[in-house]
Amino acid sequence: MQAGPILVYSEYTADLPRFERLLSAALPEAEIHYARSLDEAIPHLERATIFYGWGFPAEFLSKMPKLRWVQKMGAGVDDIIDAWPCRPEVILTRTDGKLIAPRMSEYVLGAILNRSVRFDLARRQQAHRQWNFFEIGTIRSLTIGIAGVGEIGTMIAATLRLLGAQVIGWRRTRASSPELEKIFVGNAALPEFLGRCDVVVLVLPLTSATRRLFDADVIDCCRPGVHLINVGRGGVVDEQALLRAIEGGRVGHATLDVFRTEPLPQEHPFWTNPHITITPHVCGPLVPADVVPHFVSNHAAFLAGKPLMHVVDLDRQY
């Protein structure tokens, strides 16, 4: 494959110098341009053959006539798949979930421990100088359900099992995972799966099959007081239904890293709900040192005309 300029795009000002340092060391021969905005990217759209980015306007891709390969900085591609230029010569790859999963696993574990150790209660007491003993829970007594058992969900499950939690899984299709006590498959099995979980962790991609899958009826299948954690995609959850389920006590707490609209709009009712913990999509954006080796390997394969890793199946949408 003919080499050509690489365009690297990240909205995060702090990331770009780190990508630059790592990439220029790994690929000293390559012509690489870096952009953190539309304006910075425009001069390079015409010539670039490789695009490595996250958070870029999807229509970029149709303005890149020489484009041959898009490496998404991230595991999810729902944001670009609708505007995908569907030219047979352009390959789309996503980042190996295994590179993202360790930090996501720690996020999920931290969210679970926050509630089961009851640091939230401790904070409320501290604010009022209250010394009231409470008994701390243990993750060993929890059944935790992972909805979406791909690379990332599997690693989250493995981490939670290390600590003695009972971990079960749900996925839309196929059934296999050695990291789970039990796996439920297909929409018909969702109510039974949810009925067993003290904590539900959503790690689902956003596709036409998962959009708003967690609506009022599905959420109502959860155990009363369930802790819902979403580190997948916000569009999988009906946000109004979630608010009503919190009001009614069906959902005891929600820890949300992803939202239907990001950044979460200023007027959104989630911000002030005491039963919701909001983080600004911190799971998924990539730490350069974690993921650059994956890009470098794929780049070598691309130049050699060999198959790339983690090519997106455009029908499956992930």
Residues that bind its own copies (CB under 8 A): 12, 14, 102-103, 106-107, 109-111, 113-114, 116-119, 122-123, 125-126, 129, 131-136, 138-140, 159, 162-164, 262-264, 266, 271, 277-283, 285, 287
Overall size of the chain counted in residues: 318
Asked if 222 and 195 count as a contact pair (C-beta separation under 8 A), the reply is yes
- Cβ proximity to its own copies: between 120 and 151 the closer is 120
At closest approach, how far in Å is the CB of 178 from its own copies?
Answer: 18
At closest approach, how far in Å is the CB of 266 from its own copies?
Answer: 6
- Cβ proximity to its own copies: between 159 and 317 the closer is 159
At closest approach, how far in Å is the CB of 157 from its own copies?
Answer: 14
At closest approach, how far in Å is the CB of 14 from its own copies?
Answer: 8
- Cβ proximity to its own copies: between 82 and 135 the closer is 135
Asked if 259 and 285 count as a contact pair (C-beta separation under 8 A), the reply is no
At closest approach, how far in Å is the CB of 192 from its own copies?
Answer: 28
Distances from the Cα of 188 to the Cαs of 104, 171, 194, in angstroms? 28, 11, 11
- Cβ proximity to its own copies: between 47 and 260 the closer is 260
At closest approach, how far in Å is the CB of 234 from its own copies?
Answer: 13
- Listed as own residue / partner, the contacts of 307-314 with beta carbons closer than 8 Å and 24 or more positions apart are 308/69, 308/91, 308/93, 309/93, 309/96, 310/93, 310/94, 310/95, 310/96, 311/91, 311/92, 311/93, 312/72, 312/77, 312/81, 312/92, 312/93, 312/94, 314/81, 314/84, 314/86, 314/92
- Cβ proximity to its own copies: between 135 and 313 the closer is 135
Question: Exposed/middle/buried for 75, CB within 10 Å: 0-12, 13-18, 19+?
Answer: buried
- Cβ proximity to its own copies: between 88 and 263 the closer is 263
For residue 145, report the phi and psi dihedrals to the nearest 5 degrees: -105, 130
**Helix, strand, or coil (residue 64):** coil
